[in-house]
Amino acid sequence: MKEILIRQKQVLFFIIAGGLSAIVEIGSFKLFSTYLPHFYARETNFYGVHYPLSNIFSTSCGIITNYFLSIWFVFERGKHSKKKEFAYFMAVSFFSTLLSLGFFQVFYSFIFKDNINLFFYTLSPEMISKIAAILLVSILNYSVKKKVIFNG
Spatial contact of 90 and 150, defined as CB atoms under 8 Å apart: no
pLDDT, one tens digit per residue, over 73-104 is 877 766 777 788 888 888 888 888 889 889 98
Domain locations in the chain as residue ranges: 1-150
Gap between the Cα atoms of 150 and 77, Å rounded: 6
Rounded Cα–Cα distance for residues 122 and 117 (Å): 4
Render pLDDT for 44-69 as a digit per residue (tens, 0 to 9).
777 777 788 888 899 889 989 988 99
122 has pLDDT over 60: yes
Residue 152 reports pLDDT greater than 60:
no
Give the pLDDT of residue 6.
63
